[in-house]
Amino acid sequence: MAKLWAGVTAGVTDAAADDFNSSIRFDSRMFREDIRGSMAHAAMLEKCGILTAEENARLQAGLEGILADLEAGTLAVDPAAEDIHMFVEQVLTGRIGETGKKLHTARSRNDQVALDLRLYLRGECAALRGLIDALLRALLRRAEEHVDTILPGYTHLQRAQPVSFGHHLMAYAMMLLRDRDRLSDCEKRLNVSPIGCCALAGTTYATDRDYEAALLGFDAIAMNSMDGVSDRDFALELMSGLAILMMHLSRLAEEIILWSSWEFKFVELSDAYTTGSSIMPQKRNPDMAELVRGKTGRVYGDLMSLLTTLKGLPLAYNKDMQEDKEPVFDACDTAKACLGILAPLLDTMTVRADNMLAAARRGFINATDLADYMVGKGLPFRTAYKLAGSLVAKCMAGGEVLETLPLAAYQAVCPEIGEDVYGAVDLKNCLERRVSAGGAGSASVRAQLAWVRRKLDHDEDIH
């Protein structure tokens, strides 16, 4: 395919160099954005008197035909093309003749590729938000089912205090809400049009960048032409948000892996989201959750890759910046895949409330409540804390739990303890007494559920 940039050079490169230089294999996914941008550019050129109405009409019809043929599969992207921009322009010129050569007036590939990438990532942000919303609703469904399901809460991976399974899941809902907000915030800075910045210095033509930006749904235009073509902060910001999102998904995946193990057996995963072993017939491996955990490192690597690529680049455009697309595309694809698998995995997961309760009973997670009970009897907290610890030790030595320890054994340590101690250490009562805002009590968890639903239903940010 002839090089449209042939001029001072002959436009003839070595075959290996051609392949090394080409980006068509990964930027072809932006064909819709490239064509849509070109249609807006042609319309702007007509508005400014740079093209005639007839020329614009021919360009619009030609571009619409290319788009329709690509979407229908009747036109294949030529892998020999240097990039999607050159491919579309060459096909257009082949179809409508000399008028096609006028399309590139008052723009460069430098601002064109920046435009395409912003348009593409704007769509990715919308898709990612939709998938986050779907996972949030899956978490809300399961949390609502288990507002009263007692689960041992952990610190240091040691049983600590009673919570509900619903409360535990709502912690992840809060993380995802923040991820959702980060995407919304990223979109604000992403939605700025670079088209018209040209190669780096703008153009001598009297163009209307604001009109072209409005046609494409942008909120503003890049105010410095050098920054417009060299800025990839929007890609870094999106990838940073995706790295944080993946960290949250990885933490959830890790807990699912632990919960589904025989050592916990708090949940059982559907056969649809587990695999077997090639040698051990009894195995049900949580491979989908493990892959979410593993793919997190991949997204981190994508972010570091682009940060490293950009860190030493002088202004304005450099070919190094072609390396922006593969990592940001991969980060988006990976995050979407992980979000898409976790929602149905949660929906089909069986919760073993009996095992959760049994673990809670064996963990002395009501010891703090016992100390609080003794404070209510007039003891200083530090004294009550020490006595509660000695009572736990007494239980452990005698194979008891606080709920079954005889009253005489309680009173031998603390005479102020009465029969009402059993109500104080009952796990259900312990949970319900967590009445502080954001706490684990059922009223608080229901308030959390309502708050998150309101944010989703009205598409609100957290603040």
Phi, psi of 268 (to 5 degrees): -125, 125
CA atoms within 13 A on the CB side of 280: 6
At 328, list the tokens: 């940001």
SS (H, E, C) 135-159: HHHHHHHHHHHCCCCEEEEEECCEE
Do 238 and 123 meet the contact criterion of CB atoms below 8 Å apart? no
> Does the active-site annotation cover 156?
yes
- Report the C-alpha dihedral over residues 27, 28, 29, 30, rounded to 10 degrees: 70
Of 271, 272, 259, 242, the C-alpha closest to 338 is: 242
Using alpha carbons, list the distances in angstroms from residue 396 to 270, 272, 391, 401, 404.
37, 41, 9, 7, 12
d(CA 219, CA 213): 7
The answer to whether 246 touches 293, Cβ cutoff 8 Å, is no
Q: Which of 184, 240, 277, 444 is catalytic?
A: 277
Distance CA 212, CA 323 (A): 27
Among this protein's residues, is 277 annotated catalytic?
yes
Catalytic residue among 28, 156, 184, 225: 156
- Residue 249 tokens read as 């998904």
- What SS3 state is found at 152? strand
Which pairing describes strands 350-351 and 267-268: parallel, antiparallel, or unpaired?
antiparallel
The two three-digit tokens of residue 299, written as one number: 């997204």
Of 196, 197, 166, 230, the C-alpha closest to 445 is 166
Look at the block and give the residue holding tokens 């990223």: 186
Would you name the residues annotated as active-site residues? 156, 277
